[in-house]
Structures are given as C-alpha cells and as structure tokens.
C-alpha cells in the first residue's frame, strides 16, 4: 500500500491531493512529475475565465516542511448522482455539455473526461457532481488550441465528444 498523508483525499495517476481547509485542496507536485504545475495553472486560469465548469484555480504555493510544490484549488464536495431523479440528471448533463462546448469554442479541451483504460480508478473520476452541478477537475493533460494548433485540437475535441457521449449514457443508466 502506498504511503498515506495527513488530510489525504486521493492519489491520482501522478499526484497526491490533500485537504488544506474546508475550502481549499492542494494538488501536490513532488520530484519529477509527468505534468507541469505552471502549465496546469495557466490552463485552469483560461478555463475559469470562460465558465464555471472546471475547478477553480486559487494559487501556486510551496510547502517548506514537506518540500512540495502545490497547485491550490477550490475544494469540491462530490455528491452521489444516483440520489437524483433521472430528469434532474438530464438537466445537469445539458448544462455540462453546453459548458463543455463553450470551452471548446473558446479553444480549451479538457481531454480527461474518461480515464484511460490502463489507469486504475473509476472511469469518470474527473467529473464531480456538486451542489452547483457537474464539474471537472484535473486539467493536467488539457490543451489550448493556441498551443497545439487546429489539427491536434480538433482530434482532442473529437475524442472528448465521444467520451462525453459515453459519460451521458453512464450517468443516466445507473
């Protein structure tokens, strides 16, 4: 079993997430990680400027005691979607899809609605149902059209749209 940390919430494919307070979490970057903390922060800032779909970026920080770089984000409290009537889930999905399309039109693609099949965890770990609707977390592999160009962005967008259709079926079928 991997080492556990005080206030640990989760451990993803590359990063530990710890609770800092009732309103903030830290995505921890230790040593050599596959994602770049500055790049993820910039992509979150872009997405947060477009709409409310992605978790809000708060700041970058450093923990001297633990020697950790930290991406500080709003703390989300996920709800179990199975407690909601399907008609309400459909409304949440409609808003989610509209917000995702708005991000795409503005040149942002999340790229991680569905976890790759070779990674452990739930298929849709990066989609949280909150009291404010469906939200996305983890922008580590997100892409900005201005950085990757039209061709790659179009490919990423197609994959995400297929993933969204699969998520819709999953979210409504349980």
Q: Kindly report, residue by residue over 21-50, the tens digit of the pLDDT.
A: 999 999 999 876 556 899 999 999 999 999
CA pair distance 159, 141, nearest whole angstrom: 13
- Please state the rounded mean pLDDT for residues 130-156: 95
Given CATH 3.30.200, say whether it is the number of domain 8-74.
yes
DSSP string across 2-67: ----TTEEEE-SS-EEEE-SSSEEEEEE-SS-SS-HHHHHHHHHHHHHH-SSBPPEEEEEEETTTT
Average pLDDT value over all residues in the chain: 90
Q: What is the pLDDT of residue 72?
A: 98
Over 60: is that where the pLDDT of 142 sits?
yes
Given a contact cutoff of 8 angstroms between Cβ atoms, the answer to whether 90 and 172 are in contact is: yes
From the options 1.10.287.1080, 3.40.50.410, 3.30.565.10, 1.10.510.10, give the CATH code of 81-173: 1.10.510.10
Q: What is the DSSP letter of 130?
A: E
- Please state the rounded mean pLDDT for residues 66-82: 94
pTM of the model: 0.89
- Please state the rounded mean pLDDT for residues 100-128: 83
% of the chain with per-residue pLDDT over 90: 75
Q: What is the pLDDT of residue 118?
A: 52
Residue in 101, 129, 105, 103 with CA at minimum distance from that of residue 43: 103
- Is residue 48 packed enough to be buried (19+ CB in 10 Å), middle (13-18) or exposed (0-12)? middle
Q: What is the pLDDT of residue 151?
A: 98
- Please state the rounded mean pLDDT for residues 81-95: 94
- Which tokens hold the place of 166? 């699969």
Q: How many CB atoms lie within 10 A of CB 11?
A: 17
Given a contact cutoff of 8 angstroms between Cβ atoms, the answer to whether 135 and 76 are in contact is: yes
Over 70: is that where the pLDDT of 3 sits?
yes
Token pair 């298929």: residue: 123
Binned at pLDDT 50, 70 and 90, residue 1 comes out as very low
Q: What is the pLDDT of residue 115?
A: 64
Binned at pLDDT 50, 70 and 90, residue 119 comes out as low
For 73, the 3-state DSSP assignment is: strand
């Amino acid at each position: 079993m991997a080492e556990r940390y005080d206030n640990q919430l989760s451990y993803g494919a590359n990063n530990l997430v710890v609770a800092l307070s009732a309103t903030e979490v830290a995505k921890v970057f230790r040593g050599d990680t596959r994602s770049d903390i500055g790049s993820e922060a910039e992509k979150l800032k872009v997405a947060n400027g477009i709409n409310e779909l992605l978790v809000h970026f708060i700041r970058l920080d450093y923990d001297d005691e633990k020697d950790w770089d930290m991406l500080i984000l709003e703390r989300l409290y996920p709800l179990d979607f199975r407690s909601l009537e399907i008609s309400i889930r459909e409304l949440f999905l409609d808003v989610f899809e509209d917000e995702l399309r708005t991000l795409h039109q503005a040149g942002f693609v999340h790229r991680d609605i569905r976890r790759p099949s070779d990674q452990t965890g739930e298929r849709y770990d990066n989609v949280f149902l909150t009291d404010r609707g469906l939200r996305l977390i983890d922008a580590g592999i997100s892409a900005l059209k201005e950085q990757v160009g039209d061709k790659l962005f179009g490919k990423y967008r197609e994959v995400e749209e297929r993933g969204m259709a699969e998520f819709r079926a999953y979210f409504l079928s349980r």
